Amino acid sequence: RLKELEVPRLGHSDVHIKMLAAPINPADINMIQGTYAILAPLPAVAGNEGVGRVLEVGPGVTALRPGDWVIPADAGLGTWRTQAVFPEASLLQVPSDIPLLCAATLSVNPCTAYRMLADFESLAPGDSIIQNAANSGVGQAVIQIAKATGIRTINVVRDRPDLPKLVERLKALGADHVITEDMLRKPEMKEVFKSIPKPRLALNCVGGKSTTEMLRHLQPKGTMVTYGGMAKQPVTVPVSAFIFRDVRLRGFWMTQWKKDHAHDKESLSSMMDSLCQLVRRGQLGAPACTTVPLEDFKEALVASTQPFTSSKQVLLL
């Protein structure tokens, strides 16, 4: 529910911010449902991501000043609010010359896409990757970052009534091939691989049959990274894929990566700089978004849980 709270007093190393925009991500819904790997102590403000503008800083704050834009350094900050006082260490500065919706959606999906493309296989221009849930926020970021670095993408989506429109939108982002889950099992896949090498990296956000079929097209010694489970079904791998093709199965969670690199600020700021440069060059945009005033948050929550959602709900604060 929407509730009026008093803004806490500014501490020595605190930052008072006016939140500007915050998206609704699947992980936010899972946290509210109590099914996510991290749970906020109750009562809690929801929202793991968003962008705010600094209004005032405590005397011990060194890196931020009024007017700066900031995003959460980690999950669980509680961004669905109009104002907040946070410790400086829990915030990252981002340039205020990038579009608002890019800044609001920067710290989860693009970071996940960036790390999965960089950390599991040494990909070079001309290589290919395959991913399911290609129209998700991460999927759209993967397409754009891969395009900017010369990596080709095979993008798997569920069949739907407006499929041609979705295919057109993903190709406009830079997708090389957009196929349905059914096509993964069909002989036409051979046509795809006449113009593109078999992928060494598969990105899985679905689970179940979609994953098993996607895995069949992976190169020997290739890697499949699972970062979501939208089908709520296990990842099933044929024994032959392990024995005869030596495929690797890995998992990725951006929150864990940030914990593992908590003392390595350089790797985090380097990634953010790279992403902001892509945004500035017009090579990385925000996912398709629908902006909603905070008072209409209930409608936004309902919309974000509908099947075949291709637009991210973003609360304007």
147 close to 153: Cβ distance less than 8 angstroms: yes
The pLDDT tens digits of the residues spanning 57-99 come to: 999 999 999 999 999 998 999 999 999 999 999 999 999 999 9
DSSP summary character for residue 103: H
**Residue range 188-219, pLDDT digits in tens:** 899 999 989 999 999 999 999 989 999 999 99
- Label the pairing between strands 51-57 and 14-23: antiparallel
Average pLDDT of the residues of the chain: 95
Residue where a domain stops, chosen among 232, 255, 278: 255
Q: Do 126 and 241 sit in the same domain of this protein?
A: yes
Q: Quick check: 267 pLDDT over 80?
A: yes
Pair 143, 242 in one domain: yes
Q: Report if residue 279 sits inside a domain.
A: no
Range of the domain at 63: 14-105+287-316
Q: What is the mean pLDDT of residues 156-163?
A: 92
Q: Let me know: does 267 contact 261? Beta carbons within 8 Å.
A: yes
Distance, CA of 249 to CA of 213 (rounded, Å): 14
At residue 262, the pLDDT reads: 86
224 and 117 both lie in a single domain: yes
Active site residue 36: yes
At residue 158, φ and ψ (nearest 5 deg) are -75, 145
Contact 218, 130 (CB under 8 A): yes
Q: What is the pLDDT of residue 15?
A: 98
Q: Can you tell me which residue has the tokens 């405590």?
A: 58
Hey, what are 15's tokens? 């930052």
pLDDT tens sequence across 87-146: 999 999 999 999 999 999 999 999 999 999 999 999 999 999 999 999 999 999 999 999
pLDDT (average), residues 299-305: 93
User: Each residue of 76-87: pLDDT tens digit?
Assistant: 999 999 999 999
DSSP structure class, residue 184: G
CATH number at residue 27: 3.90.180.10
Is the pLDDT assigned to residue 52 strictly greater than 90?
A: yes
Q: Which of 14, 24, 28, 36 is catalytic?
A: 36
At residue 206's C-alpha, the angle toward residues 201 and 210, to 5°, is 75
For the CA atoms of the chain, what is the radius of gyration? Answer: 20
CB atoms within 10 A of CB 187: 7
* pTM, two decimal places: 0.95
Residues 6+ apart with CB under 8 A from 43: none
User: Which amino acid type is present at position 191?
Assistant: E
pLDDT value of position 307:
79
pLDDT (0 to 100) of residue 265: 83
User: What was the pLDDT predicted at 264?
Assistant: 87
Tokens of 5: 């709270």
Are 130 and 170 contained in the same domain? yes
* Predicted local distance difference test score (pLDDT) of residue 212: 94
| Claim to verify: residue 113 and residue 248 sit in the same structural domain | yes
Query: Is residue 13 pLDDT above 90, yes or no?
Result: yes
9 within some domain: no
Do 154 and 177 meet the contact criterion of CB atoms below 8 Å apart? yes
The CA-to-CA distance between both ends of the chain, in Å, stands at 15
Number of domains in the chain: 2
Instruction: Tell whether the model's pLDDT for residue 309 goes beyond 80.
Output: no
Asked if residue 4 has pLDDT above 90, the reply is yes
Q: Are residues 116 and 245 in the same domain?
A: yes
Question: What residues form DSSP beta bridges with 128?
Answer: 152
Which among 201, 163, 193 is positioned nearest to 177, based on CA atoms? 193
Residue tagged 């990038």 (tokens) = 98
- b/e sequence 64-99, b meaning 16+ C-beta within 10 Å: beeebbbbbbbbbbbbbbeebbbebeebbbbeeebe
Q: What is the pLDDT of residue 306?
A: 86
Which CATH number belongs to the domain containing residue 242 in this structure? 3.40.50.720
Peptide bond into 43 cis (omega under 30): yes
Mean pLDDT of 297-305: 94
